[in-house]
Each structure stands twice: as structure tokens, then as C-alpha cells.
């Protein structure tokens, strides 16, 4: 059994992870955390998430969770800031980590990489196998279609999402830029007013927010007389959680290092 701690266990992803881990047969949830002061601290995690008792008491810090139970891996879908702090705790305690949080600044990414010198970490903005295939396919399409096509990325998420553009849209933009020999300077995140003709090198990244949209990403390749649209639509969170559990199985026992879902899935890296 892989002894697993889930941070933010009552969150949208945390509760999905708890449900799927419980059904998995090979992962045992031995700890869970929630925000200090949250009503769920001190409750059974299964009761707090309406799954039914799981005999895991929610605590208010990762340190407390790791003091209370020996763990092989921590799965963290909270926020970039908190994931950096959790990675430091994992590094100090020698526990492997899976990070699904998004919204990383360059400094936060560097801090995560620092912790990965001590323990193995898998971090990816999207843990769905389908999305990771779409990312690969987008890079391949860009390489084959070349500069004659204008490339745009559109993402849509629920009204509660805190970061924009989504981590997945940013990853798509990065792999598209690399495939097309473009740079971060070529990424455009907003258009308004007299913007003039579209620069040929531009890669647009646009954001929609509303309702309960789980996660949608489309890459448009606009050509002359034709266009290609590559779309992924998540209709629930199970595939993100299933990917994270797959990453947890993969990361336990690895040497220290920072890994992506592409490594977990055995893909060649695209960026
Ligand atoms: N990689 C992937 O495949 C995916 C990534 N994500 C990313 O995962 C992250 C979480 O998303 P989502 O589950 O929708 O967000 P939620 O807000 O539902 O979950 C985050 C949870 O973390 C809790 N939390 C806040 N502070 C602490 C703390 N100090 N200690 C412990 N827990 C804390 C929150 O509690 P409270 O509600 O009280 O603030 C909340 O329950 C986001 O960055 C999102 O973009 C999401 C889906 C898929
Ligand atoms: O916050 C979300 O919900 C999601 N966030 C991830 C992202 O930012 O790419 C992945 C997924 O689309 C859901």
C-alpha cells in the first residue's frame, strides 16, 4: 500500500483524490490537511467531504499530518505558494511529492526545483492523460503546419478559479512557442482597442471564466482557407485525480528530481 497524504483534502481536487484513492486498492490515505481555522480541521476527512468515514482526521498543517503518520507521498492541489511551502516540508522529511497546483511564478518554480534536489517531485499543470496527449499533438501540429498558420489558445474554467490563464494554457503556449521558434515576448494575453494587424509571430492566449466549467482548452491553427481546432473538454475532475494517483505510484522510490506528467507517461519532453 502506498501511504498517501492529501493536502487541501476538502477542496474540489482534494475530495476527488480522496474518493479515487479510497477506491484504488493500492493507495491508502493516511493524512489530510485543510486551511488553519477551517471547520473541517479535527473532523474525519470522509465526513468533511461527505464520502463517509475514512478514519483520517483532518489537520491544519502538513507537518502535523506527517508527524501523525508515516507517508510515502504527498499529493498537493492547493496553490502555488502553498505547494512551494509543502515541497520544503517534503524535502526536509524525505517524502515524495505530486504537485497539481497552478499559478507558479518563475521564483516559485525555482523554489520547487530546489526542493526537488532532495526528493522526487512530479509537478504538472494538468494531470489528465488526455490533456497531456493534446499538448504533444499541439506541438506536432505547430511543427508540421509551420509559420503560415496563426496560433491561438483559448481556455475556459469555472468562476472560482483563482489564476489566469490556466496553467495548462500557459504550458500549451510554451510548447507551441518552442515548436515554432518563438519566445515569451510573442505571447499575447489580451487585446483591446486599435490593435492593428496581427503580428505573424504572435501566439494569443485568451481566458474565459464562468459557472461550473471544469476545464476546457482549444488550440486554434488559423490558415488561409482552412483552420484546425484541437480541443480538450473535462466534464468532471476524475481524470485529473486519476493522473495524480498514477504520478504518485510512479514517483515513490525515484531518485530526487523534478518530473512532469510527460515523464510519468513515458513521453519525450516537448519543452
Ligand atoms: N494539475 C491538474 O490536473 C489540476 C490542477 N488544478 C489546480 O489545483 C489547485 C486547486 O484547485 P481546486 O481543488 O479547484 O481548488 P480548491 O480551492 O477547491 O482547493 C484548494 C484547497 O486547499 C485548501 N487550503 C487553503 N489553504 C490551505 C492550507 N494552508 N493548508 C491546507 N489546505 C489549504 C483550501 O481550503 P479553503 O477552501 O478553506 O481555502 C481548499 O480546500 C489550483 O491551483 C488549480 O488550478 C486543478 C485541477 C486539475
Ligand atoms: O483550476 C482548475 O480547475 C484547473 N486548473 C488547471 C489549470 O490551471 O490548467 C487544470 C484544469 O484545467 C483545471
Consult the annotation and say whether 199 binds a ligand: no
pLDDT value at 27 more than 60: yes
Average pLDDT in the chain: 97
Do 252 and 122 contact (CB within 8 A), yes or no?
no
pLDDT higher than threshold 90 for residue 269 = no
Which residues face 155 on adjacent strands? Answer: 207, 217
Which residues, including other chains, have CB under 8 Å from residue 25's CB and lie 6 or more apart? none
Q: Delimit the domains of the chain by residue range.
A: 2-123+237-264, 129-234
What is the CA angle 184-219-78, rounded to 5? 70
How far does residue 170's CA lie from ligand 2's centre (Å)? 11
Query: What is each CA distance from 206 to 65, 110, 187, 189, 253, in whole angstroms?
Result: 39, 26, 10, 6, 39
Homologous superfamily (CATH) of 129-234 is Dihydrodipicolinate Reductase; domain 2 (3.30.360.10)
What is the domain class of 2-123+237-264 according to CATH? alpha beta
Which tens digits make up the pLDDT trace of 242-261? 999 999 999 999 999 999 99
pLDDT at position 180 over 80? yes
ipTM over 0.95: yes
Is the CB of 204 within 6 Å of ligand 2?
no
Q: Which atom of ligand 2 is nearest the CA belonging to 166?
A: 8
The atom number, within ligand 1, closest to the CA of 128 reads 3
What per-residue confidence (pLDDT) applies to 270? 54
**Widest pairwise Cα distance in the chain:** 62
Per residue in 3-16, pLDDT (tens digit) is 999 999 999 999 99
* Cβ of 5 less than 6 Å from ligand 1: no
| Interval 121-138 mean pLDDT | 98
162 is catalytic: no
Ligand closest to CA 86: 1
Rounded to an integer, the average pLDDT of 164-192 is 98
The tens digit of pLDDT for each residue in 53-99 reads 999 999 999 999 999 999 999 999 999 999 999 999 999 999 999 99
117 labelled catalytic? no
For the CA of 79, the nearest atom of ligand 1: 43
Q: How confident is the model at residue 2 (pLDDT cuts 50, 70, 90)?
A: very high
Report how far ligand 1's centroid is from the alpha carbon of 185 (Å): 30
**Closest residue to atom 2 of ligand 2, CA basis:** 161
Q: What percent of the chain stands above pLDDT 70? A: 99
pLDDT band of residue 150 (cuts 50, 70, 90) is very high
pLDDT at 232 over 60: yes
- List the catalytic residue out of 157, 217, 232, 259: 157
> Among 124, 135, 161, which residue has the most ligand 2 atoms within 8 Å of its CB, making it the best to mutate?
161
Is residue 179 within 8 A of residue 142, CB to CB? The reply is yes
Please state whether the peptide bond connecting residue 165 to the residue before it is cis, i.e. omega within 30 degrees of 0. yes
Q: Say if residue 103 carries a ligand binding annotation.
A: no
pLDDT at 268: 72
Q: Is 184 helix (H, G, I), strand (E, B) or coil?
A: helix
**Distance (Å) from CA 201 to ligand 1 centroid:** 35
Q: What is the pTM of this model?
A: 0.97
Q: How far is CA 147 from CA 116, 171, 200, 224, 225, in A?
A: 37, 20, 8, 12, 15
**Separation of CA 143 and ligand 1 centre (Å):** 35
Cα dihedral sign, 255-259-265-269:
negative
* pLDDT number for residue 271: 53
Amino acid at each position: 500500500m502506498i501511504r498517501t497524504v492529501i493536502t487541501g483534502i476538502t477542496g474540489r481536487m482534494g475530495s476527488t483524490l480522496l474518493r479515487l484513492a479510497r477506491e484504488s486498492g493500492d493507495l491508502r490515505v493516511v493524512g489530510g490537511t485543510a486551511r488553519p481555522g477551517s471547520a473541517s480541521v479535527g473532523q474525519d476527512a470522509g465526513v468533511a467531504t461527505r464520502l463517509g468515514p475514512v478514519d483520517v482526521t483532518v489537520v491544519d498543517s502538513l507537518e502535523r499530518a506527517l508527524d501523525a503518520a508515516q507517508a510515502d507521498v504527498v499529493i498537493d492541489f492547493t496553490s502555488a505558494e502553498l505547494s512551494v511551502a509543502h515541497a520544503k516540508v517534503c524535502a526536509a522529511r524525505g517524502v515524495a511529492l505530486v504537485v497539481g497546483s497552478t499559478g507558479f511564478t518563475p521564483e516559485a518554480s525555482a523554489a520547487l526545483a530546489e526542493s526537488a534536489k532532495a526528493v522526487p517531485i512530479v509537478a504538472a499543470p494538468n494531470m489528465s492523460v488526455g490533456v497531456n496527449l493534446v499538448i504533444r499533438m499541439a506541438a506536432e501540429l505547430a511543427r508540421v503546419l509551420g509559420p503560415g498558420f496563426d496560433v491561438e489558445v483559448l481556455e475556459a474554467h469555472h468562476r472560482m478559479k483563482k489564476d489566469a490563464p490556466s496553467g495548462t494554457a500557459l504550458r500549451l503556449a510554451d510548447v507551441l512557442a518552442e515548436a515554432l521558434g518563438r519566445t515569451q515576448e510573442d505571447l499575447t494575453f489580451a487585446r483591446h482597442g486599435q490593435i492593428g494587424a496581427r503580428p505573424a509571430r504572435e501566439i494569443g492566449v485568451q481566458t474565459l471564466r464562468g459557472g461550473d466549467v471544469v476545464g476546457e482548452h482549444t488550440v486554434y491553427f488559423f490558415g488561409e482557407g482552412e483552420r484546425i481546432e484541437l480541443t480538450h473538454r473535462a466534464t468532471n475532475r476524475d481524470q485529473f485525480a486519476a493522473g495524480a494517483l498514477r504520478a504518485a505510484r510512479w514517483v515513490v522510490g525515484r531518485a530526487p528530481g523534478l518530473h512532469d506528467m510527460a515523464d510519468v507517461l513515458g513521453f519525450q519532453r516537448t519543452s
